[in-house]
Amino acid sequence: VLKRFRYKLEDGWLNIIRKFQLLREICLKIGIQIQAKDYSFDERTKPYQSTETVSKQSNGQQNGESKDKKKKKKGQEASTVTATSSTVNTTFSPDDVVDVVPVIKHSAPRSSLAEEALEAGRLSIIQNQKKLGQELLLE
């Protein structure tokens, strides 16, 4: 950062910055609209897997269940495990992006010289200097 921008960052700069404000500024500059929700910037959430699901997988039958009940629930247990272990531990996902908008600085740029000439022409016409006012308006 020092070589590129000639600016030295403080040691704890990452803890000092306001992350939501920085996210908003980046989205405005780039032109991305994201969902309004609480994003976790500090702690990464790990995939949650309950102890109950783990024990059902490893113990076989529980509490006197028959084999028929176990067979019926086996598919449900497997889908529960895959759903909980496939949790992504990132701050953003592709579903968070709502829209991408173009960034336009000025849709109709104006010339200050042309505006000054127009205003001077109007004032000249108001002051009954029609010939000078007409020349300024035609510029």
- Contact (CB, 8 A) for 20 and 34: no
Q: Which tens digits make up the pLDDT trace of 106-131?
A: 777 778 888 888 899 999 999 988 88
State the amino acid at position 91 in one-letter form.
T
Burial class (CB in 10 A: 0-12, 13-18, 19+), 81: middle
Name residue 97's beta-bridge partners: 34
Decide the pairing of beta strands 97-100 and 32-34: antiparallel
Burial class (CB in 10 A: 0-12, 13-18, 19+), 46: exposed
Q: Is the pLDDT of residue 136 over 70?
A: yes
Q: How sure is the predictor about 76, in pLDDT bands with cuts at 50, 70 and 90? A: low
C-alpha span between 128 and 67 (Å, rounded) = 105
State the CB neighbour count (10 A cutoff) for residue 19. 14
Residue 107 has a pLDDT of: 72
C-alpha span between 81 and 85 (Å, rounded) = 6
State the amino acid at position 78 in one-letter form.
A
Residue 40 has a pLDDT of: 83
Q: Is the pLDDT of residue 82 over 50?
A: no
Q: Which tens digits make up the pLDDT trace of 29-39?
A: 999 999 988 88
Nearest to 42 by CA among 21, 18, 26: 18
